[in-house]
Amino acid sequence: MLDSDERPTAAFWREVSLAVTQTNYSAYTVRFNTYFAGTQIRFAGVGDLLVVRMFRRDDYRGFLGSIHERVQFDGELGSIHAPLEHHSYRSTEHYITKINAYTSREAEELAACARRTFLPPAGALLGDFAYIAQCWMKTRDRTLVRAEAKQRLKNRYVVLSFLPAYPIGRFLNLYLFKQGFRDGSAGLKYGLLSMIYSAIKYIKYFEMKRGLR
């Protein structure tokens, strides 16, 4: 299963051909080479991105999530080491066009599902982190644990006292902690636009709660 902005390489097809005939895994993770406006982003949280993209039809059980859906399957997980080229955003204009739809869907998810609090819900978060730790101890699989953490935590809480920090925190996380600065101007643009993405999502969320959308 490939999205329209994903480009398989010749090495990828060779490895897939071997995998489907010589292994018995139910699904396979694939590494992305992500491009922004024609430049590969090697850091900023996407340089080591692994996504389940190949799966056997008989073991497929459905999808979770409304954006960048996660494949549900029965059985064991293997890996395809040759990368897919992921041309997710052709330009800044293309990015803004796409995030208008994405932020609306995320805002709808927040409005429908998120718990709204003034301070972080310590008890609930401890339970979430304990569950994620159990997943890691059980699987030792970074891809599966990252997917579980995202599914468990994303858009579940709106902490009002932290709202101003969400967009800034997203930029600092991608540009500094995940070393987007090493991607030069492309990393800076990606970090800044990701910060704007976060801000728009929460602005739309509050508009929905006030009945303006």
Name which of 113, 90, 93, 110 is nearest 38 in CA terms. Answer: 90
Sorted by where each begins, the domain ranges of the chain are: 6-89, 92-209
Residue 189 above 90 pLDDT?
A: yes
d(CA 71, CA 204): 27
- Residue-wise pLDDT for 4-49, tens only, equals 888 888 899 899 888 888 777 888 888 889 999 999 999 998 887 7
Cβ atoms of 180 and 190 closer than 8 Å: yes
pLDDT band of residue 212 (cuts 50, 70, 90) is low
How many residues does the structure list for the chain? Answer: 213
- Residue-wise pLDDT for 124-173, tens only, equals 677 777 877 877 787 777 766 776 676 666 777 788 888 889 999 999 99
Q: Crossing angle for the helix pair 184-209 and 92-113, nearest 10 degrees?
A: 40
Name which of 21, 24, 44 is nearest 32 in CA terms. Answer: 44
